[in-house]
């Protein structure tokens, strides 16, 4: 599968912006967020959280219409992957400045990027976590506190074991 660069991602969103019938807010998560932050050159797929149900439906409508040819995963409300984000995640997201008329692009806060990758914790996730910790100067205590605000559809035990590994090995 071809990777998506920041330029390609923004080009796709520009086409998307032209097809929307109303304003929406999207939050880039995972590798998409890291690509927009400049921490990765590209992402293997496009991942968005869309907080509003109405925005989510509009996003899906346009996605079905334009069939962008790249894998797009989107989650509504405060879900991403198997994680349930804390209620304040939108307030701590970073606005990404664009010239889009209909899409407001936000980036998940780096500490939330880290927390959202703890359960899966693949080799790529470990590198992403290290990069986010360095980029955002995340303190060990702050990560522990933020991680405690997460819940998940997956295993709490796995999350706790992976978090303990991060605390011992990445600070």
pLDDT confidence of residue 1: 57
Q: State pTM to two decimals.
A: 0.91
Single residue among 86, 109, 132 that ends a domain in this structure: 109
* Number of domains, the chain: 2
- β-strand pairing of 151-152 with 83-84: antiparallel
123 and 101 share one domain: no
Which structural domain range is residue 128 located in? Answer: 113-169
Query: What is the average pLDDT across 68-81?
Result: 86
Mean pLDDT over each residue of the chain, to the nearest integer: 93
Whether 140 has a pLDDT exceeding 70, the answer reads: yes
- By the 10 Å C-beta count (0-12 exposed, 13-18 middle, 19+ buried), 123 is classed as exposed
Give the percent of the chain with pLDDT over 70: 99
């Amino acid at each position: 599968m071809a990777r998506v660069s920041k330029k390609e991602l923004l080009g796709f969103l520009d086409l998307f912006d032209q097809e929307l019938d109303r304003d929406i807010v999207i939050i880039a998560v995972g590798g998409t967020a890291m690509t927009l932050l400049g921490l990765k050159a590209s992402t293997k797929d496009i991942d968005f959280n869309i907080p509003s149900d109405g925005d989510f439906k509009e996003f899906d409508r346009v996605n079905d219409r334009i069939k962008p040819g790249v894998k797009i995963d989107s989650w509504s409300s405060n879900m991403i992957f198997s994680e349930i984000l804390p209620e304040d995640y939108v307030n701590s997201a970073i606005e990404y400045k664009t010239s889009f008329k209909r899409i407001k692009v936000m980036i998940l806060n780096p500490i939330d990027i880290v927390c959202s990758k703890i359960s899966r914790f693949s080799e790529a996730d470990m590198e992403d976590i290290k990069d986010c910790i360095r980029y955002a100067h995340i303190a060990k205590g702050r990560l522990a506190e933020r991680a405690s605000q997460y819940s998940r559809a997956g295993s709490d035990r796995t999350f706790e074991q992976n978090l303990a590994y991060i605390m011992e090995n990445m600070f």
